[in-house]
Amino acid sequence: MSYSPPPSSSQAHTSARSLYPSFLSVQQSLLLQLNWAWLGLVHAFRWDHVISTIAGDSEIRANVYKSLLLNSLSLTSIYTFDLLLQPLVQDQQKWLHRNVGWFYQILWLFPVIGLSFYLNTTWCNIIAERTFSLKHGGRPASRQQAATYTGMLKSIATSAYRVVMVFTSLLVSVCLGTVPYAGPVLRFLFFGWLDSYYMFEFVWIARGMSLSRRVRYLEERWAYHLTFGLPSAALCTLGSGLANAAIFALVFPLYVVMAMHARPVPVDPYNPTSDADVLRHPSPFIPIRLPIFAPVMFLNDWIVRIVSVGGGSGIRNAHRRGLSEDAETVEQGERIEMQSRRDTTSLSSRPSGSRIHIGRRKMD
């Protein structure tokens, strides 16, 4: 029986030290973030990808042209009111002349903007799915699920949740704009991240990523996504509120194509150097993940709990749920599906008194 001597103190110290994580310096981490921010800005100007994709596929080209035409009509209608009608009726004394702007907005402007928002979402879905198929091959995961009953519910819930998230995001941006001194800058930066999220959302949904994964993916690559969304955010500061929305809808399909071809960095935010031998985390003084959408997710959770079926139980159990867990179940259609199953079960069978008693004991 052989005898192995115990490890020396220096060997034990070395082995224990190897268990500690290794970190990059603050300077190295800052340089990496700046490099990723530069790549995001470069990828936001890859118009060659847009031109080649549109020119190479007739289906994408047709939907892009329809989107550009309808959103150009919306933008023209908005500026017709802002630059022509409003100055003409500003100092008029007659009731009809004073209110012609309201008639124009109600009977023409708002219906055109609402129709363009709905159709633009449909066309962008087609553009994104077709671009994804051409680039990666096969059908997107969202398209495969849409053929089933559950997939249909998820598609409806995702569309409804997108409207909720647009509302809460605009509310957060208004609140940021009221911050003294830094408000306009914070609002502009938030719009950069928000634009980037919606541009990449089609990519993430096509890959089957859940809501929490989509938000986490952006927040862990905050430098890249900030600069990717800044050009569109800058374009949307050129006019009034409705005009800015129309400008965003005008360029949105083109940036969706860019997002399909982009490769956000870093690949691994917790090992940005991609060294297989040594795991080196970024400096603790440079955040890996910024909670950019935490206020939006918080508001989404409360809206979902208020309007969802059985919202009272959701509020009672709110402390047991994580951030955006309620919102994610609704966004994926799970709560709708469970409610429909409960309704079907209650109609098909009526439990006996003993089963009700057991169920209550379990709940207690």
User: Do the domain assignments include residue 38?
Assistant: yes
Identify any residues that bridge with 22 across adjacent strands, giving them in sequence order: 280
| Alpha-carbon distance values, 312 to 184, 308, 326 (Å) | 38, 9, 13
Q: What is the pLDDT along the chain (364 residues), one digit of tens a residue?
A: 555 555 555 554 445 555 567 889 999 999 999 999 999 999 999 999 999 999 999 999 999 999 999 999 988 888 887 787 777 767 666 655 567 777 777 888 888 888 888 898 889 989 999 999 998 876 676 555 555 656 666 667 666 777 888 889 999 999 999 999 999 999 999 999 999 999 999 999 888 888 889 999 999 999 999 999 999 999 988 777 788 888 999 999 999 999 999 999 999 999 898 766 778 889 999 999 999 999 999 998 888 788 764 444 444 444 444 445 555 555 555 444 444 444 444 444 444 443 333 333 333 3
d(CA 34, CA 192): 16
Number of structural domains the chain divides into: 1
User: Do the domain assignments include residue 274?
Assistant: no
Q: What is the per-residue pLDDT for 321? A: 46
Taking only the tens place, the pLDDT of each residue in 125-161 is 899 999 999 988 766 765 555 556 566 666 676 667 7
Residue 136: CB atoms within 10 A of its CB come to 13
Coil/strand/helix, residue 27: helix
User: Do the domain assignments include residue 364?
Assistant: no
User: Do the domain assignments include residue 357?
Assistant: no
d(CA 109, CA 107): 7
Please indicate, yes or no, whether the overall pTM of this predicted structure exceeds 0.85: no
User: Do the domain assignments include residue 188?
Assistant: yes
Q: Give the residue numbers spanning the domain of 290.
A: 24-268+283-345
User: Do the domain assignments include residue 278?
Assistant: no
